[in-house]
Structure 1
Amino acid sequence: MATTANPAFDTETLRRGIEGQTASTLLSLYADDAEIRIVDHGAQPSHPKILHGREEIGAMLDDVYGRDMTHRLEQCVVQGDRAAYVESCEYADGVRVLAESMISLRDGKIAEQIMIQAWDE
């Protein structure tokens, strides 16, 4: 009896996507119906910013990757159909951002993501 394994989440693509200069590689990791909940100073836990689907997620990523800043994947842990990672960013003027994400995976793609981010003020 043969079994088919679910596709694995590609952490190297995650690194290339986060650290790259465009949003396209990172966007390729999201399922078509993915959802992101973002919690930060402006979108607090009781009213997070919610993005539905690759179109809304892609627009947000295009905005972020259109800014003069660098991104770095600090850590990533994958266990079964869950993953968590830490991303650090720095704007050209020295302002830093730190984001932590917990993601649920489906068929090797990000189906749900909760991101908590903070930045220098």
Structure 2
Amino acid sequence: MGSGQDSAFTTGALREAIEAHSGEGMLALYEDDARVRVIDHADQPSHPRVLRGRGEIEEMLADSYGREMIHRLDQCVIDGDHAAFTESCQYPDGNQVYAESMVTLRDGRISEQILIQAWDE
């Protein structure tokens, strides 16, 4: 069952949420029981950080989109119940973050996501 929100996953909805720095807009694209696996330098592929449900996902999105940085959707491809997208971000000091996601969609919302990210240190 979906979140009851009106937002469905489309390239336009994704772009609007990412580029408006909207954690709430992004959260509307997830199913209530969604799962996100995060892989980065701290969360290696054999032991990814796993977020379960909208509450845990909301915390991650609030942290990410609450930062002072520019967020940009670079590419998005949707094929049936799967989508892939890339996002690039830049802090005011020039440091950058790059993220790639592969998602599974259910009823027009994200049910599973693998997020791989890297950033300047």
The TM-score with structure 2 as length reference comes to: 0.91
Q: Deviating runs (4+, > 3 A) in structure 1? A: none
The TM-score with structure 1 as length reference comes to: 0.91
Unaligned runs of 5+ in 2: 1-7
Deviates more, 1:60-69 or 1:73-82: 60-69
Question: 1:9 offset after TM fit, Å?
Answer: 3.1
The alignment yields a C-alpha RMSD, in angstroms, of 1.0
Tell me which amino acid in the other structure corresponds to 2:79.
Q
The question of 1:94 aligning with 2:66 is answered no
Question: 1:15 offset after TM fit, Å?
Answer: 0.4
The question of 1:24 aligning with 2:28 is answered no
- Matched ranges for 1:1-121 at <5 A: 9-121=9-121
Q: Deviations over 1:18-62 (max 9, x none)?
A: 111321111100000000000000000011011001111011111
**Aligned residue pairs: how many?**
114
What is the distance in 2 between the residues matched to 1:16 and 1:85? 14
Unaligned runs of 5+ in 1: 1-7
Residues 1:64 and 1:9: Cα distance change in structure 2 (over 3 Å): closer
> Among the aligned pairs, what percent are the same residue?
60
Tell me which amino acid in the other structure corresponds to 2:83.
A
Which one has a bigger Cα radius of gyration?
A: 1
What is the distance in 2 between the residues matched to 1:119 and 1:29? 24
